[in-house]
Structure 1
Amino acid sequence: MKRKIFRSMLLLSLVTLFLSVALLSIVLYQQLADDMKRELRNQAAYVTAGYYEGDIEYLEAIRGADRESRITLVDRDGTVLFDNRADVATMDNHRDRPEIAEAFSEGEGETIRQSDTVGTQYYYLATRLVDGRVLRVSSSSDSVTDALTSSGVVIVMILILMICLAILLARFETRRIVKPINQIDLEKPMKNKVYDELAPLLIRIHRLHDSVEEQMQELAERNKHFSEITESMEEGLVILDEIGHVVSANPSALTFLESGDGEYAGRHFSTMNRSLSLRNAVEAALLGNSSETVMTAGNRSFQLRANPVTRHGEVSGVILLLLDVTEKQKSELQRREFTANVSHELKTPLTAISGYAELLKNRMVPGDEAADFAGRIFEEASGLIALVEDVIRLSQLDERSVPEPLEEVDLLMAARSVMARLASKAKQANIEMTVDGSGGLILAVPHLIEELLINLCDNGIKYNKEGGSVDISVEQVPTGIRLIVADTGIGIPAEHQERIFERFYRVDQSHSKETGGTGLGLSIVKHIAAYHKATIELTSLEGQGTSIAVTFPIAIKKSL
């Protein structure tokens, strides 16, 4: 804008200067021409007066005195009698010359034309004398041009000076005009004191500013709302542009991809995670194809969905959604293992029952052994019933659909009751059982607490040493009421301790038939503890014994 204003002002100044010089030259030329004519008339008057005094001799006398003007005397028949610039003998008859002819007829004639005699353009003034002759005085028009040319150097110098001055003034005026415009506060357009001509523009800017500010506030609110939503999402969300650079990534995505807390906006997605699954999904989405796959990062698994964002038929970005499916996959694996284990645990006794029943059906068992076979069938059936009951119990605990209500349970009294029930079994195994501690009330389902104690104590008896012990203690701790069941048995190897609470998991599968049970005891213990919001701690040393501590919250009469 500044350059355009400068050019416009300079061009206007130059055009004005050149037009002024041209007009001045025309006026000056005309003025010089008029001065020349006036001088020529005066000169003609002087020569005429001299001619009347001295006739042609006067003309001869002044022949060399006037070198600028040309004086010619023409007789009545057009014959040239005198000329101070040419030889009259060589000159043609001048009666047909326009100024001569006009002087003969009108008394005076004048014209501007090129001389046929000397070949120069002249201004001629002819006057008829009293004797009928014509006296002509002329002057070359080149004298006017020469005078104008002699003034041209001064005019050119003045013109150059004026051009320089015009440039300086144009620059100064441009800066003066532009300065208030450059100082306009666009944030507060209506508070600017500037040209009145800019008022409509400032009003529009003010309205536009208000509109843009409202839109920016709305956009900021939307961005804030979007950030709050994405930051609170458990799923990972990553938005990429059309070349795979990160536009946005929520904290869950950074955690899932193990990318740290750095700023990834504007960086390539591969800087977040170099997983081949991620790269293939993004490349497919950039080509316009949606995809879904499972990728791993660290020790967790994620379901990755990559969808292209299209605009006018072209891919303008990619949206990545990551769902943590680690627990889902683990649950699915546990479900498959549980199904396989249940199938196996059911198949073995059912096969035995079927075999024994078939022998009895075909009367292939001696009469004195029939009762023994029936007893075996009863034992296998009892084991099946126990297994089914345990499975049902686990299902109820998983779904938190236990039908019995919560009640206040004295944990110490419950421990003593269980010890009394298992006293005979402990005596047969030569295991000493003890209960110690103070009473502690918890809010629980009584028969579930009893089942938890039976499972823990039963394991303590089955996996103990000859002459060992099982000690039950109840104590109050800052976090609640703690139940500890400790034995002096064979202990659990360290590599098995993490899985000991899994369903059907046994440390020594070869002795599972000897120890009996369904393999669900500790898993049920874990689920009963979780149902009552209790925590479990396992401490075990191989060959020295095992201690399991279950800490229950203090009884508060309200629903779990």
Structure 2
Amino acid sequence: MLNTDNYKERSKIAEKEKIAQAINVDFNQAFFDARGYLAFGSASMKDSALAQEKKIKRSAKKFEKITTTDDDEKFLDNVNEFTSFYFEDTLPLVISNYKVGNRQEIAKMANEQVTSKVTTFQKQMQDYIQDLDHSLDSHFQKLITMQSYIQLIFLLFVLIVMVILLVIMMYMFRQLGQPLARLSIAANEMASGKEVSISLETKREDEIGLLSKSFQQMVEKVQEKEQDLLAHNEELIAQQDELQAQQAELQNAMQTLNENSEKLKNRNKLVNQLSGNIDLQYLLDSSVVNMCKIIQADKGIIALAEEPAYASFGISPSGANQFLQNMKDSLCEQLRITKRPYSFKRKLDVSEKGYHEGDFYGYDLYLPVLSSDEDLIAVMIFTRYGSPFEESQMEEFLALSNSVGVSLDKISLFQKSEKDRKQNQDILNTLQEGVQLIDKNGRTLQINDHLQELLECEDYVLLGMSWEEWIEFVKEKVKEKQIVLFLENALHSNSELDTFIYTLESSQKVIKVYSKKLYHDGVKIGTVLVHRDITKEYEVDQMKSEFVSTVSHELRTPLSSILGFTELMINRELKPERQKKYLTTIWNESKRLTALINDFLDVQRMEAGKQTYEKKYFNLLPMLSKVIEAQQVSTKLHQIILEPCSPPPFILGDREKMEQVFTNLINNAVKYSPDGGMIKVKLTYIDQQVKVEIIDHGLGIPEEAMNKLFTKFYRVDNSDRRKIGGTGLGLSIVQEIVKNHDGEISVQSTLGSGSTFTVLLPAALSKEMDMEQNDMRESTEGYHILLIEDDKSLAELIKHELVENGFQVIYHNNGADGLQSLHKTIPDAIVLDILLEDDEFDGWRIMQEIKQSSRLQHIPIIISTALDEKEKGISLGAMAYLVKPYQPSQLSKTIMQTLLKVGKEGQILVPQEEHAEG
């Protein structure tokens, strides 16, 4: 009865374990199919995963019928609860997210709840199955123990019976003697297991008779019991054999379960390492190691198809290099074409057999690793010794290789995005503006190097800074506290563009910041702040404002004098001496005004790159003497001394421009020495250069102004200099002219002790100088000049100047008459205005007509115009280009120099019909 109960109980436990194993297998199949669907998008895997729900529920109903313990009920509740969670709540949501491509939400669900619940449920399943195994083992041990007790009891029973019989026999032997001998023999035979057959005197009525009867009955009973015990023992042995067979079967099932569990563990480890890492080499290493464990390979290698990256397991470096060098062979090419795995058998090489002798075989498995575009991106090869790779496992192997391909695709995308990110950062770092990207909450997401330089902060300390930290940082750095309001508006307002100018406390840099909203698909994702250093522009704007004020004063002063004295001369009768004095003043102020306007024009030409120079070899000494003489006349407080050098300092340059340079420098020395004193102009030679020093003992220059001294519009901000006046253009023009003569200008100064300006110019010591030493006042009788000028007053002035210098002048006030006169008389030179009242024949048109005529194209043309386009005039054939206003004597001198070069060409023509001429 005990054995039967034990057997029934053990059968129930085995049935429970069988159903639990089935449920576990179905869940694992569902997990595997769901992951396969997410990895490869296979609809069949999705259907298979969903189909496991019905199998699990059927198994749960079977299990419910045989539940007997609280643990069984708990297990059943766990199964039902997890079935509802996984198949009703989680899996449909995952499938819908996958269909819309929301992989981030899937990853988030996996990380937050699904993975942990799956792991917990699998552990509960394993624990319950192990408990059932322990319970089976316990019942088996209990059955063995019960059999041992039954045998022991039987032996004790036999022993007791034998003792009783022995006592009786001894008693009978003592009491009865021989009558009991046969009983003794019979008892011995019965004890030895022999079949007893005795004939006693059972008819006796005494104790012997009764004993004989009883003994006879006892023998019969004993024999009967013995038969029962033998039959029962045989049954127990059969049951023991059955139990041992079931135990072996359970051990095999447990071994299979452990192997499957180990495979799942390695597979999960592979999947986790593939999905949670972006390091390419780490991915390759973990892939080949885990794949070897999963497919039970002895060694393997994975190598990228287009990049020199690989990982191996159980392969020497030389073997790996050999494979990489021959990777393009037919075997790997077969993978590229078929995109299917394959395996083949080969005889092991000597190096693979170790100490074994004879022929042994290995099996190589070739697996393609495909990208999402079905391109071969890597090759995996694994080798197993002794046992082949089953054809039925190929799909499983291919699924694993596809998982590796998905991870390689992910790393490739990450590397590409990282490259793009670095490239974008490098582009930002090349910008001269500081760029700052903040999100909707004000956290700084991205900056460039220039922003760190502008704000004078350590490397990327701003990156990741919260809005509150950024505001505190700005408050410490910036003077203008209103910037906080600007930043708040930039972050929260909807205005597209806003600007603010602020100053840094430490460096005094002036920075302009503007904001721009950043949108993605119409949704605001942040704000871009661009910080631009406008310190120089700010200073220039200040200097320009100051310049406008200064220029208005500098222009009005000479104009007031000119207008005032002109009004006096018109409205009053003045003595000749006073008229001369007034005219002299008007002339001087006009020259001053002309010089001021010329400065403006020079700056404009220099900025536009249109300034031209007529360079010739000339001696600096006479030019400097002339400048010093002109400056000495205007001052009685100063003594200007010239210290010449030997030999005479010849240079190649534009005499007029160099005169402008030294006039400006010597005039500055006079102006900025208000108390008078000696001014020295010293010439020396140094390293094939002429060195000219202008030394004064005046106010000097502050140290902070030295690096801005040659900047346009800059004037030293000091009250004792403000009284002196000036536009702030002179030194910038001087520097530009010196540079264009391949020279250098520098200054040394001590505040309150004076300054020394040094000009270095290339010397022309051994060159034969092309100096015009001809007498410019030689006879000019017979030279005819054609003057075309629409301004009658200026034309009268020019005509008067030329006639006084001996020229014969033919004057026309429009281009048509001028061209007509050329048919009658060919002049020796033409003085031509560009901007004429006759729109049909302006100066440019007249030049083209002249240069296109073979009879007229040799006539030298001197342009006299207010239009500053010297390069165009020279390119069209002008010999000289004078920009109004200029001194009339300069025109006479230019015509004389030109005619001395080209000779006398004027002649009278007899009117005749011209053919095909300009």
TM-score range, shorter chain: 0.5 to 0.7
Q: Structure 1 residue 383: deviation in Å?
A: 1.7
- 1:47 is aligned to none
Letter of the structure 2 residue corresponding to residue 397 of structure 1: M
Q: Structure 1 residue 460: deviation in Å?
A: 3.5
Letter of the structure 2 residue corresponding to residue 546 of structure 1: S
- 1:123 is aligned to none
Q: Cα gap change, 1:273/1:437 in structure 2, threshold over 3 Å: closer, same or farther?
A: farther
**1:62-141 → structure 2 map (5 Å cutoff):** none
Letter of the structure 1 residue corresponding to residue 686 of structure 2: Q
Letter of the structure 1 residue corresponding to residue 267 of structure 2: I
Residues 1:417 and 2:623 are matched in the alignment: yes
Look up the SS of the partner of 2:501 in the other structure. strand
Match of 1:485 among 682, 693, 717: 693
CA contact (8 A) 1:9 1:170 kept: no
- 1:522 is aligned to 731
Q: Structure 1 residue 243: deviation in Å?
A: 2.1
Using the size of structure 1 for normalisation, the TM-score is 0.60
CA contact (8 A) 1:2 1:174 kept: no
**For 1:354-400, what per-residue CA distance to the aligned partner results, in whole angstroms no more than 9, with x for missing partners?**
22222233226566633332332222222211211122122222333
Letter of the structure 2 residue corresponding to residue 326 of structure 1: T
Residues 1:372 and 2:581 are matched in the alignment: yes
Partners of 2:414 and 2:763 in 1: CA distance: 54
| Greater displacement, 373-382 / 9-18 | 9-18
- 1:356 is aligned to 565
Partners of 1:372 and 1:434 in 2: CA distance: 35
CA contact (8 A) 1:460 1:486 kept: yes
Residues 1:213 and 2:404 are matched in the alignment: no
Q: Structure 1 residue 408: deviation in Å?
A: 7.8
Residues 1:494 and 2:702 are matched in the alignment: yes
Partners of 2:550 and 2:542 in 1: CA distance: 12
- 1:289 is aligned to 495
Letter of the structure 1 residue corresponding to residue 474 of structure 2: N
Partners of 1:248 and 1:317 in 2: CA distance: 11
- 1:53 is aligned to none
**1:179-328 → structure 2 map (5 Å cutoff):** 179-181=265-267, 183-184=269-270, 186=274, 187-188=283-284, 189=287, 192-193=291-292, 194=294, 196=393, 198-268=396-466, 269-270=470-471, 273-274=474-475, 275=478, 276=481, 278-287=483-492, 288-290=494-496, 291-297=498-504, 298-311=507-520, 315-328=524-537
CA contact (8 A) 1:301 1:325 kept: yes
Q: Structure 1 residue 7: deviation in Å?
A: 2.7
**For 1:200-222, what per-residue CA distance to the aligned partner results, in whole angstroms no more than 9, with x for missing partners?**
54233122122112212211221
Higher share in strand: 1
Look up the SS of the partner of 1:244 in the other structure. coil
CA contact (8 A) 2:434 2:450 kept: yes
Partners of 2:463 and 2:646 in 1: CA distance: 60
Partners of 2:600 and 2:471 in 1: CA distance: 47
Partners of 2:740 and 2:427 in 1: CA distance: 32
Residues 1:539 and 2:748 are matched in the alignment: yes
Q: Cα gap change, 1:551/1:322 in structure 2, threshold over 3 Å: closer, same or farther?
A: farther
Higher Rg of the two aligned structures = 1
Look up the SS of the partner of 1:207 in the other structure. helix
- 1:336 is aligned to 545
Q: Structure 1 residue 177: deviation in Å?
A: 4.4
Q: Structure 1 residue 416: deviation in Å?
A: 5.5
Partners of 1:554 and 1:266 in 2: CA distance: 61
Look up the SS of the partner of 1:212 in the other structure. helix
Partners of 1:213 and 1:443 in 2: CA distance: 68
Partners of 1:323 and 1:438 in 2: CA distance: 54
**For 1:130-178, what per-residue CA distance to the aligned partner results, in whole angstroms no more than 9, with x for missing partners?**
xxxxxxxxxxxxxxxxxxxxxxxxxxxxxxxxxxx9xx99996786344
CA contact (8 A) 1:190 1:206 kept: no
Q: Structure 1 residue 233: deviation in Å?
A: 1.1
List gaps (5 residues or longer) in structure 2: 1-117, 140-250, 275-282, 296-392, 765-918
Partners of 1:361 and 1:420 in 2: CA distance: 35
Count how many residue pairs are aligned between Structure 1 and Structure 2.
Answer: 408
| Greater displacement, 357-366 / 320-329 | 357-366
Letter of the structure 2 residue corresponding to residue 8 of structure 1: M
Q: Structure 1 residue 251: deviation in Å?
A: 1.1
Look up the SS of the partner of 1:431 in the other structure. strand
Look up the SS of the partner of 1:341 in the other structure. helix
Q: Structure 1 residue 237: deviation in Å?
A: 1.0
CA contact (8 A) 1:442 1:554 kept: yes
Q: Cα gap change, 1:237/1:382 in structure 2, threshold over 3 Å: closer, same or farther?
A: same
**For 1:428-467, what per-residue CA distance to the aligned partner results, in whole angstroms no more than 9, with x for missing partners?**
7543211337888987655433321232234345656767
Partners of 1:319 and 1:538 in 2: CA distance: 45
Match of 1:176 among 249, 254, 262: 262
- 2:807 is aligned to none
Q: Cα gap change, 1:289/1:404 in structure 2, threshold over 3 Å: closer, same or farther?
A: same
Partners of 2:585 and 2:544 in 1: CA distance: 31
Q: Structure 1 residue 286: deviation in Å?
A: 2.4
Q: Structure 1 residue 496: deviation in Å?
A: 8.6
- 2:682 is aligned to 472
CA contact (8 A) 2:669 2:698 kept: no
Q: Structure 1 residue 426: deviation in Å?
A: 4.2
Letter of the structure 2 residue corresponding to residue 294 of structure 1: I
Letter of the structure 1 residue corresponding to residue 485 of structure 2: N
Q: Structure 1 residue 543: deviation in Å?
A: 5.7
Look up the SS of the partner of 2:700 in the other structure. coil
Letter of the structure 1 residue corresponding to residue 755 of structure 2: T
CA contact (8 A) 2:558 2:593 kept: yes
Letter of the structure 2 residue corresponding to residue 526 of structure 1: Q
Partners of 2:442 and 2:464 in 1: CA distance: 9
Letter of the structure 2 residue corresponding to residue 237 of structure 1: V
| Greater displacement, 202-211 / 192-201 | 192-201
Look up the SS of the partner of 2:517 in the other structure. strand
- 1:8 is aligned to 125
Partners of 1:6 and 1:222 in 2: CA distance: 44
Match of 2:608 among 399, 418, 442: 399
CA contact (8 A) 1:482 1:549 kept: no
CA contact (8 A) 1:277 1:293 kept: no
Q: Structure 1 residue 546: deviation in Å?
A: 1.9
| Greater displacement, 212-221 / 276-285 | 276-285
CA contact (8 A) 2:700 2:753 kept: no
Partners of 1:8 and 1:376 in 2: CA distance: 116
Partners of 2:483 and 2:739 in 1: CA distance: 37
- 2:554 is aligned to 345
Match of 2:590 among 375, 381, 395: 381
CA contact (8 A) 1:492 1:546 kept: yes
Match of 2:645 among 436, 439, 446: 436
Partners of 2:535 and 2:753 in 1: CA distance: 35
Partners of 1:532 and 1:272 in 2: CA distance: 50
**1:549-560 → structure 2 map (5 Å cutoff):** 549-551=758-760
CA contact (8 A) 2:701 2:755 kept: no
Identity of aligned residues (%): 20
Look up the SS of the partner of 2:457 in the other structure. coil
Look up the SS of the partner of 2:421 in the other structure. helix
Letter of the structure 1 residue corresponding to residue 588 of structure 2: E
Q: Structure 1 residue 253: deviation in Å?
A: 0.8
- 2:69 is aligned to none
